[in-house]
Amino acid sequence: MQPIALPAGARDEFGETLQKKLVITQKIINYYNEQHYQPIATSLIEQSTVFAHTPTQKMLSVLGEEVALRADMTLPVARFVRAMKLKQPTISLYYLGDVFRPTEPLSGTYNQTTQMGIELIGVADCSAEIEAIERMIETARIAGVTKIEVELSDVRLLPALLQTWQVPQHLQADMMGAVYNKELTNFVALLDQTILDKSIKAAFRDLPLMFRQGDQILDTLPNAQPLRGVVQRLKEIKTTILADFPDITVTYDLAAKPEQTYYTGVMFKGYTADTAGYVFSGGRYDQLLSDYKNGADVKIMDRFFRHREVPDSENFSKPGF
Protein backbone atom coordinates (compact mmCIF):
# COMPACT_ATOMS: atom_id res chain seq x y z
CA MET A 1 0.00 0.00 0.00
CA GLN A 2 1.35 3.41 -0.96
CA PRO A 3 2.04 5.72 2.00
CA ILE A 4 -0.40 8.62 2.30
CA ALA A 5 1.26 12.03 2.30
CA LEU A 6 0.08 14.93 4.40
CA PRO A 7 -1.55 17.87 2.63
CA ALA A 8 0.91 20.58 1.66
CA GLY A 9 1.80 22.77 4.64
CA ALA A 10 0.52 20.33 7.29
CA ARG A 11 2.82 18.53 9.71
CA ASP A 12 3.15 15.77 12.28
CA GLU A 13 5.08 16.10 15.52
CA PHE A 14 6.79 13.15 17.18
CA GLY A 15 9.33 11.92 19.68
CA GLU A 16 11.99 14.02 21.35
CA THR A 17 11.08 17.24 19.55
CA LEU A 18 7.45 16.96 20.65
CA GLN A 19 8.46 15.94 24.19
CA LYS A 20 10.63 19.01 24.51
CA LYS A 21 7.84 21.26 23.23
CA LEU A 22 5.39 19.72 25.73
CA VAL A 23 7.78 20.32 28.63
CA ILE A 24 8.14 23.99 27.69
CA THR A 25 4.42 24.53 27.17
CA GLN A 26 3.54 22.87 30.48
CA LYS A 27 5.97 25.17 32.32
CA ILE A 28 4.34 28.16 30.62
CA ILE A 29 0.82 26.92 31.43
CA ASN A 30 1.82 26.53 35.08
CA TYR A 31 3.14 30.10 35.10
CA TYR A 32 -0.10 31.61 33.75
CA ASN A 33 -2.19 29.55 36.15
CA GLU A 34 -0.08 30.95 39.01
CA GLN A 35 -0.70 34.48 37.65
CA HIS A 36 -4.46 33.81 37.79
CA TYR A 37 -5.05 33.97 34.03
CA GLN A 38 -8.05 31.97 32.86
CA PRO A 39 -7.46 29.27 30.23
CA ILE A 40 -9.58 29.22 27.11
CA ALA A 41 -9.79 26.73 24.24
CA THR A 42 -11.86 27.63 21.19
CA SER A 43 -13.13 25.46 18.37
CA LEU A 44 -10.76 24.46 15.58
CA ILE A 45 -13.56 25.21 13.07
CA GLU A 46 -15.32 28.58 12.96
CA GLN A 47 -17.91 30.28 10.81
CA SER A 48 -15.96 31.87 7.96
CA THR A 49 -17.34 35.29 8.97
CA VAL A 50 -15.16 35.19 12.10
CA PHE A 51 -12.15 35.54 9.79
CA ALA A 52 -13.74 37.94 7.31
CA HIS A 53 -10.51 39.93 6.93
CA THR A 54 -7.99 37.15 7.60
CA PRO A 55 -6.68 34.61 5.05
CA THR A 56 -8.12 31.20 5.95
CA GLN A 57 -8.55 27.67 4.68
CA LYS A 58 -12.26 27.26 3.99
CA MET A 59 -14.55 24.27 3.50
CA LEU A 60 -18.22 23.30 3.63
CA SER A 61 -19.79 21.81 6.76
CA VAL A 62 -22.16 18.82 6.67
CA LEU A 63 -24.98 21.39 6.62
CA GLY A 64 -23.53 23.16 3.59
CA GLU A 65 -22.30 26.19 5.57
CA GLU A 66 -19.00 27.80 4.68
CA VAL A 67 -16.66 27.27 7.63
CA ALA A 68 -12.97 27.94 8.15
CA LEU A 69 -10.10 26.35 10.00
CA ARG A 70 -8.94 28.53 12.88
CA ALA A 71 -6.40 30.99 11.44
CA ASP A 72 -5.84 33.14 14.53
CA MET A 73 -6.59 32.77 18.23
CA THR A 74 -7.72 36.31 19.12
CA LEU A 75 -10.72 36.43 16.78
CA PRO A 76 -12.34 33.23 18.16
CA VAL A 77 -11.68 34.50 21.70
CA ALA A 78 -13.46 37.74 20.78
CA ARG A 79 -16.35 35.73 19.37
CA PHE A 80 -16.56 33.75 22.63
CA VAL A 81 -16.44 36.83 24.88
CA ARG A 82 -19.16 38.57 22.87
CA ALA A 83 -21.38 35.48 22.98
CA MET A 84 -20.95 34.80 26.71
CA LYS A 85 -21.54 38.42 27.81
CA LEU A 86 -19.06 38.06 30.66
CA LYS A 87 -19.57 40.49 33.55
CA GLN A 88 -15.99 41.05 34.77
CA PRO A 89 -14.65 44.58 34.20
CA THR A 90 -11.40 43.09 32.91
CA ILE A 91 -10.54 39.62 31.61
CA SER A 92 -7.10 37.98 31.44
CA LEU A 93 -6.99 34.83 29.30
CA TYR A 94 -4.34 32.46 28.00
CA TYR A 95 -4.57 29.84 25.26
CA LEU A 96 -2.60 27.20 23.40
CA GLY A 97 -3.60 25.66 20.08
CA ASP A 98 -2.80 25.11 16.43
CA VAL A 99 -3.80 27.60 13.77
CA PHE A 100 -3.98 27.12 10.01
CA ARG A 101 -3.10 29.99 7.68
CA PRO A 102 -2.54 29.72 3.92
CA THR A 103 1.06 30.22 2.87
CA GLU A 104 2.66 30.73 -0.52
CA PRO A 105 3.17 27.49 -2.50
CA LEU A 106 6.76 26.19 -2.39
CA SER A 107 7.62 28.70 0.34
CA GLY A 108 8.90 25.96 2.64
CA THR A 109 6.71 27.18 5.51
CA TYR A 110 3.91 25.37 7.32
CA ASN A 111 0.23 26.28 7.11
CA GLN A 112 -0.20 24.60 10.49
CA THR A 113 1.56 26.25 13.44
CA THR A 114 1.19 26.32 17.21
CA GLN A 115 0.11 29.59 18.78
CA MET A 116 0.24 30.35 22.48
CA GLY A 117 -0.71 33.72 23.85
CA ILE A 118 -2.68 35.92 26.20
CA GLU A 119 -5.57 38.37 25.90
CA LEU A 120 -5.97 41.35 28.24
CA ILE A 121 -9.50 42.62 27.74
CA GLY A 122 -11.05 45.78 29.18
CA VAL A 123 -7.83 47.70 29.97
CA ALA A 124 -7.81 51.17 28.38
CA ASP A 125 -4.41 52.54 29.35
CA CYS A 126 -0.98 51.34 28.29
CA SER A 127 -0.69 49.03 31.30
CA ALA A 128 -2.21 46.36 29.00
CA GLU A 129 0.64 46.60 26.50
CA ILE A 130 3.20 46.73 29.32
CA GLU A 131 1.77 43.64 31.00
CA ALA A 132 1.59 41.75 27.70
CA ILE A 133 5.23 42.49 26.89
CA GLU A 134 6.47 41.74 30.40
CA ARG A 135 4.56 38.45 30.52
CA MET A 136 6.24 37.44 27.28
CA ILE A 137 9.66 38.33 28.69
CA GLU A 138 8.92 36.12 31.70
CA THR A 139 7.64 33.39 29.37
CA ALA A 140 10.87 33.53 27.39
CA ARG A 141 12.89 33.20 30.57
CA ILE A 142 10.91 30.13 31.57
CA ALA A 143 12.21 28.59 28.33
CA GLY A 144 15.78 29.66 29.11
CA VAL A 145 15.93 32.78 26.92
CA THR A 146 17.43 35.86 28.58
CA LYS A 147 18.70 38.01 25.68
CA ILE A 148 15.60 39.62 24.24
CA GLU A 149 15.00 42.68 22.09
CA VAL A 150 11.54 44.24 22.13
CA GLU A 151 10.62 46.44 19.18
CA LEU A 152 7.79 48.96 19.66
CA SER A 153 5.65 50.54 16.96
CA ASP A 154 2.14 51.95 16.52
CA VAL A 155 -0.51 51.53 13.84
CA ARG A 156 -1.29 55.27 14.09
CA LEU A 157 2.28 56.54 13.77
CA LEU A 158 2.78 56.55 10.00
CA PRO A 159 -0.70 57.93 9.10
CA ALA A 160 -0.29 60.65 11.75
CA LEU A 161 3.16 61.54 10.41
CA LEU A 162 1.89 61.89 6.84
CA GLN A 163 -1.08 63.97 8.00
CA THR A 164 1.20 66.23 10.04
CA TRP A 165 3.37 66.73 6.96
CA GLN A 166 0.16 67.56 5.04
CA VAL A 167 0.98 65.01 2.37
CA PRO A 168 -1.74 65.06 -0.33
CA GLN A 169 -4.40 62.41 0.23
CA HIS A 170 -3.74 60.74 -3.12
CA LEU A 171 -0.11 60.10 -2.13
CA GLN A 172 -0.66 58.89 1.43
CA ALA A 173 -1.83 55.35 0.62
CA ASP A 174 1.00 54.80 -1.88
CA MET A 175 3.59 56.12 0.57
CA MET A 176 2.28 53.89 3.35
CA GLY A 177 2.42 50.87 1.06
CA ALA A 178 6.00 51.69 0.07
CA VAL A 179 7.02 52.00 3.74
CA TYR A 180 5.27 48.81 4.86
CA ASN A 181 6.72 46.81 1.96
CA LYS A 182 10.23 48.26 2.45
CA GLU A 183 10.22 49.70 -1.10
CA LEU A 184 12.87 52.35 -0.58
CA THR A 185 13.21 53.51 -4.20
CA ASN A 186 9.45 53.83 -4.62
CA PHE A 187 9.12 55.72 -1.34
CA VAL A 188 11.84 58.22 -2.28
CA ALA A 189 10.15 58.87 -5.63
CA LEU A 190 6.84 59.53 -3.86
CA LEU A 191 8.52 61.70 -1.22
CA ASP A 192 10.05 63.83 -3.97
CA GLN A 193 6.55 64.54 -5.30
CA THR A 194 5.65 66.36 -2.09
CA ILE A 195 6.45 69.99 -1.25
CA LEU A 196 8.05 69.11 2.08
CA ASP A 197 11.09 71.02 3.23
CA LYS A 198 14.39 69.64 1.94
CA SER A 199 15.59 69.00 5.50
CA ILE A 200 12.57 66.76 6.18
CA LYS A 201 13.07 64.87 2.93
CA ALA A 202 16.74 64.31 3.77
CA ALA A 203 15.98 63.15 7.33
CA PHE A 204 13.28 60.67 6.34
CA ARG A 205 14.40 59.32 2.94
CA ASP A 206 15.18 55.99 4.62
CA LEU A 207 11.84 55.78 6.43
CA PRO A 208 11.04 52.26 5.10
CA LEU A 209 14.25 51.05 6.78
CA MET A 210 13.83 52.91 10.08
CA PHE A 211 13.53 49.92 12.40
CA ARG A 212 15.59 49.02 15.50
CA GLN A 213 15.83 52.73 16.24
CA GLY A 214 16.74 54.46 19.53
CA ASP A 215 15.06 57.33 21.37
CA GLN A 216 16.59 59.94 19.11
CA ILE A 217 14.40 58.89 16.17
CA LEU A 218 11.23 59.79 18.09
CA ASP A 219 12.71 63.16 18.99
CA THR A 220 13.01 64.01 15.27
CA LEU A 221 9.24 63.59 14.73
CA PRO A 222 7.00 66.68 14.63
CA ASN A 223 5.75 67.72 18.07
CA ALA A 224 2.10 67.97 17.10
CA GLN A 225 -1.07 66.03 17.83
CA PRO A 226 -2.02 63.28 17.21
CA LEU A 227 1.62 62.28 16.74
CA ARG A 228 2.65 63.66 20.15
CA GLY A 229 0.29 61.32 22.00
CA VAL A 230 1.53 58.29 20.06
CA VAL A 231 5.16 59.13 20.82
CA GLN A 232 4.46 59.75 24.52
CA ARG A 233 2.77 56.35 24.86
CA LEU A 234 5.69 54.54 23.19
CA LYS A 235 8.19 56.29 25.47
CA GLU A 236 6.13 55.49 28.56
CA ILE A 237 6.00 51.81 27.65
CA LYS A 238 9.75 51.66 27.02
CA THR A 239 10.57 53.45 30.28
CA THR A 240 8.43 51.06 32.32
CA ILE A 241 9.78 47.92 30.67
CA LEU A 242 13.40 48.98 31.18
CA ALA A 243 12.70 49.86 34.80
CA ASP A 244 11.38 46.34 35.39
CA PHE A 245 13.82 44.53 33.07
CA PRO A 246 16.99 46.63 32.73
CA ASP A 247 18.81 43.87 30.82
CA ILE A 248 16.29 43.97 27.93
CA THR A 249 16.88 45.96 24.75
CA VAL A 250 13.93 48.11 23.59
CA THR A 251 13.89 49.80 20.18
CA TYR A 252 11.38 51.48 17.86
CA ASP A 253 10.15 50.67 14.36
CA LEU A 254 8.68 53.58 12.41
CA ALA A 255 7.93 51.38 9.40
CA ALA A 256 6.13 48.43 11.02
CA LYS A 257 3.31 46.91 9.02
CA PRO A 258 0.35 45.84 11.21
CA GLU A 259 0.45 42.09 11.80
CA GLN A 260 -3.31 41.96 12.35
CA THR A 261 -6.10 43.99 10.76
CA TYR A 262 -7.75 44.53 14.16
CA TYR A 263 -4.81 46.37 15.75
CA THR A 264 -5.59 50.02 16.48
CA GLY A 265 -2.62 51.30 18.50
CA VAL A 266 0.70 50.14 19.92
CA MET A 267 2.27 47.03 18.39
CA PHE A 268 5.34 45.11 19.50
CA LYS A 269 7.59 42.20 18.57
CA GLY A 270 10.15 40.22 20.50
CA TYR A 271 13.40 38.85 19.09
CA THR A 272 16.07 36.53 20.47
CA ALA A 273 19.66 36.08 19.40
CA ASP A 274 19.30 32.42 18.46
CA THR A 275 16.06 32.47 16.45
CA ALA A 276 15.45 33.79 12.95
CA GLY A 277 12.51 36.17 12.94
CA TYR A 278 10.47 37.40 15.88
CA VAL A 279 9.33 34.93 18.54
CA PHE A 280 6.37 36.87 19.91
CA SER A 281 4.19 39.70 18.66
CA GLY A 282 1.16 41.57 19.86
CA GLY A 283 -0.77 44.80 19.91
CA ARG A 284 -3.70 46.85 21.10
CA TYR A 285 -7.23 46.47 19.77
CA ASP A 286 -9.96 48.91 20.78
CA GLN A 287 -12.73 48.12 18.29
CA LEU A 288 -12.89 44.33 18.33
CA LEU A 289 -15.39 43.87 21.16
CA SER A 290 -18.65 45.74 21.69
CA ASP A 291 -18.94 45.23 25.45
CA TYR A 292 -15.20 45.63 26.12
CA LYS A 293 -13.95 48.53 24.05
CA ASN A 294 -10.27 48.07 24.95
CA GLY A 295 -7.83 45.21 24.89
CA ALA A 296 -4.42 43.92 23.90
CA ASP A 297 -3.01 40.57 22.89
CA VAL A 298 0.36 38.91 22.44
CA LYS A 299 1.15 35.62 20.72
CA ILE A 300 4.17 33.36 21.00
CA MET A 301 5.24 32.26 17.53
CA ASP A 302 5.61 28.58 16.67
CA ARG A 303 9.36 29.03 16.09
CA PHE A 304 9.73 29.88 19.80
CA PHE A 305 9.13 26.24 20.71
CA ARG A 306 11.91 24.95 18.48
CA HIS A 307 15.70 25.22 18.92
CA ARG A 308 15.04 25.77 22.61
CA GLU A 309 16.81 24.39 25.67
CA VAL A 310 14.62 23.57 28.65
CA PRO A 311 15.95 24.90 31.98
CA ASP A 312 16.50 22.42 34.82
CA SER A 313 16.05 19.44 32.54
CA GLU A 314 18.74 17.02 31.47
CA ASN A 315 16.32 14.76 29.64
CA PHE A 316 16.03 16.86 26.48
CA SER A 317 18.69 18.42 24.31
CA LYS A 318 18.54 20.72 21.31
CA PRO A 319 17.37 18.63 18.36
CA GLY A 320 19.38 18.61 15.18
CA PHE A 321 17.51 20.84 12.70
Is the Cα torsion angle 152, 154, 157, 158 positive or negative in sign? positive
Q: Cα-flanking dihedrals φ and ψ of residue 185, to 5°?
A: -60, -45
Burial of 246 (0-12, 13-18, 19+ CB in 10 A): exposed
Query: pLDDT tens, 214-258?
Result: 999 999 999 999 999 999 999 999 999 999 999 999 999 999 999
Q: Which of 158, 155, 152 is nearest to 213 (CA)?
A: 152
The pTM of this model reads: 0.89
Q: Which residues 6+ apart lie within 8 Å of 208 measured at CB? A: 178, 179, 180, 181, 182, 183, 184, 187, 255
| pLDDT per residue as tens digits for the range 36-86 | 999 999 999 999 999 998 889 999 999 999 999 999 999 999 999 988 887
